[in-house]
Amino acid sequence: MRILGRMSEASVFRRRTGPEQDFSTTLAAALKDAARGGVRFSAGGSDLEWERFNSHPFEEREEGRRDALLAFESDPVRERHPGKPDGVSRFAYFLDGVQTTEEIGRIGTVPVVMTTVAAAIVHRRDGRLRKLDVAGVPALMRALILPHDAHDPGARALYAAAESRGFPVPRSDAEAVASGAESVLLDSTQHEPHIDPADYSALKQRAYQRASSLRAAMEVALLERWAEMETGEDWIAVDGQLPVPTPNAVGLIKNARRLFFGGEEARMLLDLEAGRRTTAFVPPWRAERAKAGRAEEERASWYVRLWPSSAASEGADATSGLVRLEMDVPYSEQSATFDEVSRWLLAERAPLAKPDFRWASMIYPIHYVEKILKPTVHGGRRTRLRLEREISDLRT
């Protein structure tokens, strides 16, 4: 493969991930190198986060299909009272990640994209939340993202210039995180080489997806390190789907706009009372993967309503206040386990995750993780403005 060929010696990758040069300075130098080689840039960009590509790599991408849904506890799936929460929650760790992804310019129809990603685990002890130090996982990473395999000469020239200036080129997002590099060069078309280089919107979407994949790799690395720690009987709540099988871990999907039910089941879900849950099921794509023999994909999932939809922020709909939970399938006492985990989640309703507009479907500790991470990635916007000025200067 192309990247394997360039990086066949592991020492090459290690040598490039020594003391990191400043991201914007190194990228500015690569832009000038490419311009001297004849590449013509267009200034101006956009914030890809505002374009809402919604491409977290672990989010469901298939429409719910009733014939592929496996019910765990009852068929059809129905409403269930998990019991009254007693204020006790065994969730003591909370994991989330954030990113900023921005276009800083164009080479014809090819967007030049940079991203800053960060992720963290927060530990709650004696009622206080503190960021957990996790060795072996960088706190923050920046990446230049270009469609090398889209076969656009200008994009390839900038890609080569950035690589020559010392940007590491990892073979995977997991390798990028494991390397400890603070800045990397990513190919947005590495897994989709046949994309049209003239399809500007599709190239931006692929860049955003690659940025999300890098962030997800950081989250996976943190979760795997957490699983190796001595945490006793404590559990971890992960924002989003559970990416890898992990005992004592639950994924919390706060966006419940894609439903897996039809007919009466869908009406039951939208009318679910606060403090109630649905019986557990396997989402369609999980069931299909499990049927194909991928045991690591076997997960149980169910919905819990934290708050009535009427209590949510202005503009909310009937799915507001719903959270979908996901965890490894327990070997025994399945219903009792689902009930207990649901009660822990209901116990997390106070304090409220305000002023976040998603507060009705969000627990405060996850909101706290986002709150401490967002300032660390906002520096990427200052970098974007500097690089946009650099590109403007190249045109004069």
pTM value?
A: 0.87
pLDDT more than 70, % of the chain: 84
Average the pLDDT over each of 43-57, 181-195, 322-336, 358-372 and give the range with the smallest value: 43-57
- Whether 16 has a pLDDT exceeding 50, the answer reads no
pLDDT at 329: 82
pLDDT at 116: 94
Average the pLDDT over each of 8-22, 105-119, 140-154, 327-341 and give the range with the smallest value: 8-22
pLDDT tens string 366-391: 999 999 999 999 876 778 888 888 88
pLDDT at 322: 94
Q: For every residue of the chain, which 3-state class applies, written as one string?
A: CHHHHHCCCHHHHHHHCCCCCCHHHHHHHHHHHHHHCCCCCEEEEEECCCCCCCCCCCCCCCCCCHHHCEECCCCCCCEECCCCCCCCCCEEEEEEEEEEEEEEEEECCEEEEEEEEEEEEEEEECCEEEECCCCCCCCEEEEEEECHHHCCHHHHHHHHHHHHCCCCCCCCHHHHHHHCCCEEEEECCCCCCCCCCCCHHHHHHHHHHHHHHHHHHHHHHHHHHHHHCCCCCCEEEEEECCCCCCCCEEEEECCCCCCCCCHHHHHHHHCCCCCCEECCEECHHHHHHHHCCCHHHCEEEEEEECCCHHHCCCCCCCCCCEEEEEEECCCCCHHHHHHHHHHHHHHCCCCCCCCCCCHHHCCHHHHHHHHHHHHHHCHHHHHHHHHHHHHHHHCC
Mean pLDDT of 300-318: 85
pLDDT tens string 191-246: 776 788 889 999 999 999 999 999 999 999 999 999 999 999 999 999 999 999 89
Identify residue 120 by its one-letter amino acid code. A
pLDDT more than 90, % of the chain: 60
pLDDT at 18: 34
- Whether 287 has a pLDDT exceeding 70, the answer reads no
- Whether 69 has a pLDDT exceeding 70, the answer reads no
Average the pLDDT over each of 21-30, 115-124, 145-154, 189-198 and give the range with the smallest value: 189-198
Which of 10-24, 28-42, 259-273 has the highest average model confidence (pLDDT)? 28-42
Give yes or no for a contact between 156 and 148, defined as CB atoms under 8 angstroms apart.
yes
- Whether 256 has a pLDDT exceeding 80, the answer reads no
pLDDT tens string 109-138: 999 999 999 999 999 999 999 999 999 999
pLDDT at 64: 43
